[in-house]
A = this chain, B = another copy of it.
Amino acid sequence: MAATSGLELRSRITSEGVLELWLEEVTTPAPAADEVVVRVEATPINPSDLAMLLGPADVATLQSGGTPERPVTTASVPQSRLGFVAARLDQPMLVGNEGAGIVIDAGSEARGLIGRAVAARASGMYAQYRVAKLSDCLVLPEGTSPKTGAAAFVNPLTTLGMIETMRREGHTALVHTAAASNLGQMLQRLCQEEGIALINIVRSAGQVALLRELGAKYVLDSTSATFAADLTDAVAETGATIGFDAIGGGAMAATILTCMEKALARKATAYSRYGSPVHKQVYIYGSLDVRPTDLPRNFGMAWGVGGWLMPWYLQKIGPRDAQKLHQRVAAELTTTFASRFTAEISLSEALAPPVIAAYNKRATGEKYLITPNRA
């Protein structure tokens, strides 16, 4: 096959503190034996992609340049935040962790896939063409559109990984924050299907209503005056001793641990100044609040807080078990793991300052889809 070329989105933060976003015309490399070339039709903007795309730039300073077809967008990055991205300074970074499209070329081991729709997990999916390893692809069932498979990896595998973590570490119910998110709604559907008690923590009455509509039994509004008491009751009722926290900063992780400890203390028969010996765990997997995590340690001695990242977790459980999770996603792509998208945008629209402002708001349940090959 003749060499293809196409546009790919690049993000660079310079040592001088300037964020630059542009579309680079690149020649698609020939696939190795175990690789496929995907014409990317649909790729979502996840919170983790935003972090790579924009870094710690001040979005109030976004400016557009270049031409309509080949825009160049810039913004300034405060000097105080450059330290957080020291390792990427001045290097052009690829963006986009997942997407789906049509296989237009393939190495010797994958030639049968030419013409098929696949979902792929590879860095740099915000591009018209992307070479991906066969092992990072999910072949979509016949008749399934790339749009349906665009978000087949990040959110579905994150929710499945959370449940898997819960079970393997000996817990039977869980707490989730920022629970009205796209991911949170998916976790609610999954837990309902599995019969797992899930305590959803949200930040407004509207979000409570949204999750109740999905059939959620436990939905708590963290802005309510009775939040801590309600959470303690829900934890006592469900026996939840693990939480997944997308907020990260401030008191949320500690509040969850404290309520768990109080719920356990209700059942304690003797005083121990070390608290309950039952281990309480909160995993921080996001950073919606970038302030430090504040732990007053008033929840006994049996506790843990730590970072949690889906790809590392899949590595930890090994390829065989990870593959089982992949298969489950494929089977339930239009039900449990379905994503709804707020709007579809082109690669150049993805660089337009007003569009960036819109998708960077991360409004509840909103999710944008980039369609790099839209006519």
Residues of chain A having any CB pair with chain B under 8 Å: 51-52, 84-85, 87-88, 91, 93, 248-249, 254, 265, 268, 271-274, 277, 284, 287, 292-298, 300-309, 312, 315
- Residues in B whose Cβ lies below 8 Å from that of A91: 271
Q: How far is the CA of A315 from the CA of B303 in the complex (A)?
A: 16
* CB atoms of B292 and A93 under 8 A apart: no
- Residues in B whose Cβ lies below 8 Å from that of A272: 87
- Residues in B whose Cβ lies below 8 Å from that of A292: 254, 294-297
* CB atoms of B303 and A306 under 8 A apart: yes
* CB atoms of B297 and A293 under 8 A apart: yes
* CB atoms of B300 and A307 under 8 A apart: yes
* CB atoms of B305 and A301 under 8 A apart: no
* CB atoms of A84 and B298 under 8 A apart: yes
* CB atoms of B87 and A312 under 8 A apart: no
The A interface, classified by DSSP as helix, strand, loop or mixed, is mixed
- Extra inter-chain contacts (14) besides given A277-B312, A297-B307, CB under 8 Å: A85-B273, A88-B271, A91-B271, A93-B271, A249-B297, A284-B297, A292-B294, A292-B297, A295-B305, A301-B308, A301-B312, A302-B309, A302-B312, A306-B306
Q: How far is the CA of A8 from the CA of B351 in the complex (A)?
A: 75
Taking the closest CB of chain B, its distance from the CB of A162, in whole angstroms, is 15
Residue of B with least CB distance to A291:
B296
Q: How far is the CA of A91 from the CA of B273 in the complex (A)?
A: 13
- Residues in B whose Cβ lies below 8 Å from that of A315: 277
Q: How many copies does the complex hold?
A: 2
- Residues in B whose Cβ lies below 8 Å from that of A271: 87-88, 91, 93
Residue of B with least CB distance to A287:
B297
Residue of B with least CB distance to A272:
B87
* CB atoms of B307 and A303 under 8 A apart: yes
Residue of B with least CB distance to A248:
B297
* CB atoms of A87 and B268 under 8 A apart: yes
Taking the closest CB of chain B, its distance from the CB of A298, in whole angstroms, is 7
* CB atoms of B308 and A306 under 8 A apart: no
A87-B268, A88-B273, A268-B87 given; A301·B307 CB < 8 A: yes
- Residues in B whose Cβ lies below 8 Å from that of A305: 295, 304-306
* CB atoms of A274 and B309 under 8 A apart: yes
Taking the closest CB of chain B, its distance from the CB of A90, in whole angstroms, is 11
